[in-house]
Chains A and B, each alone.
Chain A
């Protein structure tokens, strides 16, 4: 089976997951889903996705960042640590109301995702970003 690539969605909002999954499947991607960070990390090892679509706020408000921290630094993820990560959140980026990113004390040296998008995602924008990140 040839697909455009494998995408892992890590998000706890079932409606978000469902709609994004439909968009990605319709465009020829394979999709796998985890509804929390820990399960997502297990799936990364198992599924070896070409891209991870990662929500920031799940059970805890920085869960996405913890996920990313483990992925980028833990020894068992050595081979997979450069998997592109597209972070999404419904907390708007450009209003600055999204956390206190420039507050070093708060975020420490939080790992950087490869891309960031505000929810709601428009299907075309999403597909463009996903394609660009996988091609890279």
Chain B
């Protein structure tokens, strides 16, 4: 570690030199300045840990120097050397932010004690600052860290299975192959569960409100759809999108709204009959822009509708149970839509299909900046 740096500001050469000589015993680096201004110039160019400044100097006195140092960097420890050590002058400089004062004349030991204590304070300040920053970074990245801890072992296991299935480690017989494929499927479910669960904790209403911007719904629908093409093909589902080009923008956060729409559309594909249809529409209704996702699937029993947005709730129907799912998809949608200041409605007929309607706040006509205040109110 670098030795601490001390700056001595004193207009009397003899005091400067003797201070320097004494302080060198501490193994610190010492710089000298003959005026307050010269001292401040040095501080601007080069960070110091501690400043010793004489109270009585022509032009800029010790009090003024102390004040300016505090403005510039309050973490620098300032010690004022005062010739006429009255209680008042001491109190005054302490008020200006000095850490301590030293009355003249002083012995080398007295100087060393005060300076050592000042350096110790500086060290503790720096340490606690570093710890605080580390803690804040941990908090900021909490979800990331948990995600990493959960997903790393799963990923490692998954890759072993992939390697085994690719026959790099030798040929498998049919039974082994089948079992490993089953393991991989279950593991997929587990990875999905950790993702969904992490999404739940990530979606903090307050943060979404801060990110809301007037934007087009179409873009979100498009990007949600692009990731679902394959799933739709596999179940031979036809997807029909009808969004008018002149639809007004809404207050939205692209990342999360795309995720909400993606969950809805993915459900509409997953819980649909083979060869079924998914229709996505959007229209303006009063102050809302309503996005609807309609499917031709199994539908939801009326009795179940109040529960489908609950965490971990899964439909009772056999067709639903046959599909892999975490019971978090709709809970995530609900949370995201609420954070957008919107609402969601469901209509369903068992055996015919369901329609999920997402109500989003239409942005005011005057454009892109938007006025998220009223949205924030509704999201609470």
Contacts and interface: CB of A to CB of B under 8 A. Distances in A.
Same complex origin of A and B: yes
Contacts of A57: 148
A64 B202 CA distance: 23
B168 A23 contact: yes
A121 B160 CA distance: 10
B166 A92 contact: no
Interface stretch (B97-105, B149-157, B264-272, B350-358): B149-157
Given A26-B168, A61-B145, A95-B199, A119 B163 contact: no
A20 B143 CA distance: 26
Interface in A101-126: 106, 119-124
B43 to A, nearest CB: 25
B147 interface: yes
Contacts of A15: 156-157, 159-160
B151 A91 contact: yes
Interface secondary structure of A, over-half rule: loop
B198 A16 contact: no
Interface in B118-177: 137, 140-141, 143-145, 147-148, 151-152, 154-160, 162-163, 166, 168-169
A124 B163 CA distance: 10
A19 B144 contact: no
A20 B159 contact: yes
Interface string A1-42: 000000000000101100110110010000000000000000
A63 B199 CA distance: 24
Nearest to A122: B162
A99 interface: yes
Nearest to B150: A90
A23 B162 CA distance: 10
Contacts of A91: 144, 147-148, 151
Interface string B258-301: 01000000000000000000000000000000000000000000
Contact of B166 (A23, A61, A106, A119): A23
Contacts of B259: 95
Determine the interface band of chain A, counting residues with CB < 8 A from chain B: 20 to 34
B162 A123 contact: yes
B195 interface: yes
Contact of B155 (A16, A98, A100, A106): A16
A19 B141 contact: no
A96 interface: yes
Given A61-B144, A91-B147, A97-B199, A19 B156 contact: yes
Interface string B194-212: 0100110010000000000
A22 B168 contact: yes
Contacts of B160: 15, 19
A135 B163 CA distance: 24
A97 B152 contact: no
A15 B152 CA distance: 10
B255 interface: yes
Contacts of A90: 147-148, 151-152, 154-155
Contact of B198 (A95, A119, A120, A123): A95
Nearest to A57: B148
B141 A99 contact: yes
B155 A120 contact: yes
Interface of B: 137, 140-141, 143-145, 147-148, 151-152, 154-160, 162-163, 166, 168-169, 191, 195, 198-199, 202, 255, 259
26 contacts: A13-B152, A13-B156, A15-B156, A16-B152, A16-B156, A19-B156, A19-B159, A22-B168, A23-B163, A23-B166, A26-B168, A90-B152, A91-B144, A91-B147, A91-B148, A92-B151, A97-B147, A119-B151, A119-B152, A119-B159, A120-B154, A120-B158, A120-B159, A121-B162, A122-B162, A123-B162
Given A13-B156, A15-B156, A91-B144, 19 more contacts: A19-B159, A20-B159, A22-B163, A22-B168, A22-B169, A57-B148, A89-B148, A90-B152, A90-B155, A91-B151, A95-B202, A96-B202, A100-B140, A119-B155, A119-B159, A120-B154, A120-B158, A121-B162, A122-B162
